[in-house]
Structure 1
Amino acid sequence: METYPPLAGPFALGTFSSGNGPAFPGLVTGDRVLDLRTVPALGAPPDDGGLTTRTLLERWDDALPLLHAAGGSADGRWLPSAGLRVHAPVEPRQILQSGANYRTHVIDLAVAHEPEGGRPAEQVRAEVAAMMDRRAAEDQPYVFVGLPSAVTGPYDDVVIPAWCAKPDWELELAAVIGRPAFRVPVERAADHVAAYTIANDLTARELVFRRDMPEIGTDWLRAKNAPTFTPLGPYLVPSAFVADPGDLQVTLRLNGEIMQDESTKDMIFDVARLVSYVSQTVELLPGDLVLTGSPAGNGMHWGRLLEPGDVMEGTITGLGLQRNRCVAESARPVPRGDA
């Protein structure tokens, strides 16, 4: 029987479906899932658009104690988790992604991107380490915008587009917003984080830098936002159950071999600092994601990028496991809407 890493706390939230039925929010405890639509105390959201994890996040302060009570009750419709499909746990309106936030990762990337015959690796490492120290001292995170259309489920296939020559993995801790956050100070920013989950922020490495317009710099639209390039989940683990988001182990295995295995202690800017920084410009809304950056050990570091047939397994302490198989676009085309 397959085993999964334990979740922090007594329960987590997810989005599930059974057979061809509609997706529904569920409370996960052990090997069971409670269909939260069958819990009368939660009621229907005010707009009557159906209960979802996002509508629960929109009234998180009221919903959390009700979820505690539901998890300890026999009421409602409990289902075995083995028979359910697990979807991305939330549909975010906005995704804000932190770049260059792990010291060792940035240094390794700089060495990997140095042209052949360029500066010695030791010189690159020293220069980038000095840059990271300066960034930390100046207190300026680097954040860009991701697209919700790139999100896919924690066990869904990742489709490598036909044009993508260098697909890479980047496992990350994602903070999920509960209370709206706009211009919040650092000391209050953590109060706006309802939960944590796992994200894999895939990157087409060959498209990160615009060679036709080098003065413009990076192109995150093309490099990171293809459909299925952001596997998310499996679950939302309430922040109350995560003792210290600055001390979690982020581990990615490729075909069973460990590639990333680093603590969030290596982050330059912690979750509170990132949420506060983003909120100075953007009004963060319930269900929005703040991705905190990826640690060392990506494919560029190993000189081994993703290929069809590869299986990625990502875990973060207390947040569960996601597993995604890579397929070629020609083998598994992404569905398109009607023109």
Structure 2
Amino acid sequence: MSLDSQEIPALVTTRTTTVMLPVLINVSFAHCTPFPALSTETHALALAYWAPLGLRGTGCIETFLREWDANAALLKQISHDAATFDAIVEDGMPLSSFRMHAPVAPRQVYCTIGNYRRQLLEAALDAGDGPDGPGASARRAVLLDSIEPRRSDGAPYICLKGAVCVSGPNDRLSISRDLTTLDWEVEIGVVIGRSVAHVSAEDALHCIAGYCVVNDITLRERVFRQDVPAVGTDWLQSKSRPGWLPAGPWMVPAWNVADASQLRLWLRLNGSAMQDGVANDMIFSIGEQIAYLSSVTRLEPGDLICTGTPAGLGSHYGRYLRPGDLVEAGVEGLGSQRVLCVDE
């Protein structure tokens, strides 16, 4: 049964980045402490190179992002300077010389659940007697009828995920043999650039430092606790183990993303396409998610928001991650990551 519907907006493929400006990465070499750098497609140069100009916290990605409000204007000026590209190539080192780490080091990680229309519709059709069963049409109608009322009267469903989950874009993902329903979720990660409280959806976009690729690894069998079924979801057991949020390879500053709602997300498992969607399929926009979060908590510089995932989860295919799998996940303009699953 097709997911296309007049109630579901058409997916678009408009590119949102028009020029390749340097991106922010977090790297190390020869077992040194990771440090932030600016990178072209081939080379990287430590941010410390520009510290004499006034950049703060150039020795640590966490400190640099927490000082984003003070650093942003100067970093933008540096990024747009034609001499910067030459400096990265001439004074930097090839990217292949470095180990890539996550380009973020958040104190808080927030994950928006059930935020893509097609993903919710896919789950509704998979339920019960399946997408071709006699009950599928009724489930489809109920789901489609619920989306706009939820948009107008509801709020995003957002959970916390531990900061210890964050790992690098090429790190290995250890999977013990008892984890049989470990699933993938490619998402756009939003990095907060300033302290935010009670901001409107319209103003929220001005609070974003940048965007990155994230994969919100989730253990499906632990989302609902069998021993306390009335309690509801358990995001600690199902989402928050170390390494369950590969991030990167880099952070693209917000000024180089014209419209994040046009970004295309994709994920491949062992070379086969599993997810392919566009952010305009979100029920709650990135601005609306930030506004909602800021109404109940205070967002701080460096905090990370995982904004939801498109259709094509392992729970749809009945195929979950296992040792030996290669997961490639990317977002148009934000790069891609390669994570090898290994036996714990």
Fold conserved between structures, TM > 0.5:
yes
Report what 2:276 is aligned to: 261
Gaps in structure 2 of 5+ consecutive residues: 1-16
CA distance in structure 1 between the aligned counterparts of 2:103 and 2:289, rounded to whole angstroms: 22
Q: Which residue of 1 aligns with 2:216?
A: 201
For residue 106 of structure 1, the aligned residue among 120, 136, 155 is: 120
Quick check: 63-72 or 287-296, which moved more?
Answer: 63-72
Q: Percent identity?
A: 38
Secondary structure of 2:140's aligned partner: helix
Q: How does 1:29-178 map to 2 (within 5 A)?
A: 29-41=40-52, 45=56, 51-57=59-65, 58=67, 59-68=70-79, 69=81, 71-72=84-85, 74=87, 77-114=91-128, 120-178=135-193
* Bigger mean CA offset, 66-75 vs 303-312: 66-75
Aligned to 2:35: 24
The one-letter amino acid paired with 2:290 is: V
Give the deviation of 1:302 after TM superposition: 1.2
The 3 A distance-change label for structure 1 pair 8 and 212 is: farther
Q: Does 1:237 align with 2:245?
A: no
**Amino acid paired to 1:14:** I
Cα deviation 1:72-130 (Å, max 9, x = unaligned): 453894111011100011110111110010011012223435488x9823322222222
Quick one: which of 289, 293, 299 aligns to 1:278? Answer: 293
CA distance in 2, matches of 1:121, 1:294: 22
Q: Deviations over 1:203-247 (max 9, x none)?
A: 101111122222211111100111111000000001111111001
Measure how far apart 1:162 and its partner are: 4.0
The equivalent residue for 2:226 is: 211
Which residue type is aligned with residue 79 of structure 1? M
Matched-pair contact (CA < 8 Å) for 1:205–1:223: yes
CA distance in 1: counterparts of 2:19 and 2:100, whole angstroms: 18
Deviation at 1:153, TM superposition (A): 0.3
Cα distance, 1:13 vs structure 2: 0.3
State the partner residue of 1:316: 331
Alpha-carbon distance in structure 1 between the residues aligned to 2:320 and 2:266: 17
Distance 2:92 2:26 in 1: 14
Q: Structure 1's 26 and 128: CA in aligned 2 closer, same or farther, altered over 3 A?
A: same
SS in 2 for 1:74: helix
| 1:66 Cα offset (Å) | 4.9
Q: Distance in 2 between matches of 1:163 and 1:322?
A: 25
Question: Contact 1:152/1:231 (CA < 8 Å) preserved in 2?
Answer: yes
Contact 2:124/2:139 (<8 A) preserved: yes
> 2:92 is aligned with what amino acid?
W
In structure 2, how many angstroms separate the alpha carbons of the residues matched to 1:159 and 1:8?
37
Aligned partner letter, 2:76: P
Shift of 1:164: 1.6
The 3-state SS of whatever aligns with 1:307 is: coil
Residue identity matched to 2:233 = T
TM-fit CA distance, 1:44: 7.1
Counterpart residue identity of residue 95, structure 1: V
Distance in 2 (CA, whole Å) between partners of 1:40 and 1:11 is 16
Q: Given the superposition, is the C-alpha separation of residues 202 and 302 from structure 1 closer, same or farther in structure 2, using an over 3 Å criterion?
A: same
Name 1:3's counterpart in structure 2: none
User: After superposition, what is the alpha-carbon deviation per residue over 1:30-88, rounded to whole angstroms, capped at 9, x for unaligned?
Assistant: 2010111232335574xxx7622333332233442353247245389411101110001
Q: Runs of 4 or more off by more than 6 Å in structure 1?
A: none
Most deviating of 120-129 and 153-162 = 120-129
1:302 paired to 2:317: yes
1:55 aligned partner, one-letter code: T
| Cα distance in structure 1, aligned partners of 2:31 and 2:285 | 41
**RMSD of Structure 2 on Structure 1 (CA):** 2.2
- The match for 2:12 is none
Between Structure 1 and Structure 2, how many residues are aligned? Answer: 320
The SS at the match of 1:280 is helix
Note the alpha carbon deviations across 1:278-323, whole angstroms, 9 max, x for none: 1111211111111110000011111211111110111111001101
The CA distance in 2 between the partners of 1:128 and 1:215, in whole Å, is 23
Q: Which amino acid aligns with 1:92?
A: P
Counterparts of 1:21 and 1:66, CA distance in 2: 29
